[in-house]
């Protein structure tokens, strides 16, 4: 079955990314937890804590199935309630404030018709986005160029479309600021709304997954040894608090996991190990913090 092919590809991506991150970190090791979901399926949660570079990071794989709750059926506009979903989800929080937070998710979802072999509805979704504590222009340019290179191999329209969607999606409405410098975000890609067939869509999803390790590895190695002050770390804690706000208030994956009785530890592994909500923090004009704050907006052309 096609879903099995997707599931195996995602497992390989999880394995490969964990291996590369352990090599780059040099100290931290992923601890794996195998879990089963009440209702069907399960996954492999892999967490690294207190490494040389990575303070807390997760590389999660899941493949779950069961019955869709009514609110999600209505949101997806489907009659059947037998669903299958598989994906890889990654979030990395680092010790050094000059090494950015990164998030990646690639996923495949289908709703099965009761009396037919073909799914009633199915699609691919995913993306990668970068949340620097301090925005370094050359890093943002490099990151976006890597994503564009991947997208252009499949469709020259993908990068611009998915970049704009990321700007809109990773936006903290109550703060009127973006979560970071964005990246790409796509959802509900099918053989009908793209130029790709299902095999090509799978290959694109795999290519996005394979973009993660070399891209983030270069950003880590460039910035991991930069000296930082207690003031830099306080700013890191503030930026982490904004990250947590987005994930708890707006993130669709978090909501889906909670509404489908997902595993709480795996769902909330995206939250930082330490963040701060100091009251009404003031940013000094002309500072690195002010420069970063000025770039937390939609529509910046990084390529």
pLDDT at 174: 97
Q: Is residue 231 part of a domain?
A: yes
Indicate whether 263 belongs to any domain.
yes
Does 148 map to a domain?
Answer: yes
**Average pLDDT over the chain, rounded to an integer:** 94
- Tell me how far apart the alpha carbons of residues 162 and 183 are, in angstroms, rounded to a whole number: 8
In whole angstroms, what is the distance from residue 108 CA to residue 125 CA?
A: 6
Does some domain include residue 71? yes
Tell me if residue 103 is catalytic. yes
Domain ranges, residue 18? 2-294
For residue 232, is pLDDT > 70? yes
Mean pLDDT over 50-67 rounds to 95
**What pLDDT band is residue 264 in, cutting at 50, 70 and 90?**
confident
pLDDT bracket for residue 72 (50, 70, 90): confident
Q: Is the pLDDT of residue 71 over 80?
A: no
Per the structure, the count of domains in the chain is: 1
What's the confidence (pLDDT) of residue 34?
95
Q: What letters, b where the CB count within 10 A reaches 16 and e where it falls short, cover 82-92? A: bbbbbbbbbbb
Domain CATH code at residue 140: 3.40.1500.10
pLDDT recorded at residue 259: 81
Catalytic residue among 65, 93, 95, 103: 103
Q: Is residue 299 situated within a structural domain?
A: no
- Count other Cβ atoms within 10 Å, centred on residue 123: 20
pLDDT of residue 116: 66
Asked if residue 303 is part of any domain, the answer here is no
The pLDDT of residue 261: 76
**Does residue 124 sit within a domain?**
yes
Question: pLDDT (tens digit, 9 = 90+) per residue, 154-173?
Answer: 999 999 999 999 999 999 99
């Amino acid at each position: 079955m096609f879903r099995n092919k997707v599931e195996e590809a995602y497992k390989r991506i999880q394995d490969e990314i964990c291996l590369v991150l352990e090599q780059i970190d040099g100290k931290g090791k992923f601890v794996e937890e195998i879990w089963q979901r009440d209702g069907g399926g399960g996954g492999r949660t892999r967490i690294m804590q207190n490494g040389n570079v990575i303070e807390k990071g997760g590389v999660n794989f899941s493949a779950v199935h069961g019955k869709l709750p009514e609110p999600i059926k209505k949101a997806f506009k489907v009659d059947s309630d037998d669903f299958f979903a598989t994906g890889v989800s990654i979030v990395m929080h680092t010790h050094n404030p000059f090494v950015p937070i990164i998030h990646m998710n690639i996923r495949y979802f289908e709703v099965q018709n009761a009396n037919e072999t073909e799914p009633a509805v199915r699609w691919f979704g995913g993306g990668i986005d970068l949340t620097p504590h301090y925005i370094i222009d050359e890093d943002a340019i490099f990151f976006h160029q890597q994503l564009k290179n991947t997208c252009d191999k499949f469709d020259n329209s993908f990068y611009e479309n998915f970049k704009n969607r990321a700007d809109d999606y990773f936006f903290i409405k109550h703060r009127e600021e973006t979560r970071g410098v964005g990246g790409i975000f796509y959802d509900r890609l099918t053989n009908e709304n793209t130029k790709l067939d299902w095999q090509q869509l799978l290959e694109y999803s795999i290519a996005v997954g394979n973009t993660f390790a070399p891209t983030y590895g270069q950003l880590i190695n460039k910035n991991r040894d930069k000296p930082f002050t207690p003031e830099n770390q306080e700013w890191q804690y503030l930026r982490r608090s904004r990250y947590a706000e987005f994930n708890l208030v707006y993130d669709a994956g978090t909501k889906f996991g909670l509404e489908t009785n997902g595993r709480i530890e795996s769902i909330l592994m995206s939250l930082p190990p330490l963040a701060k909500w100091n009251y009404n923090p003031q940013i000094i004009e002309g500072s690195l913090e002010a420069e970063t704050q000025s770039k937390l907006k939609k529509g910046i052309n990084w390529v």
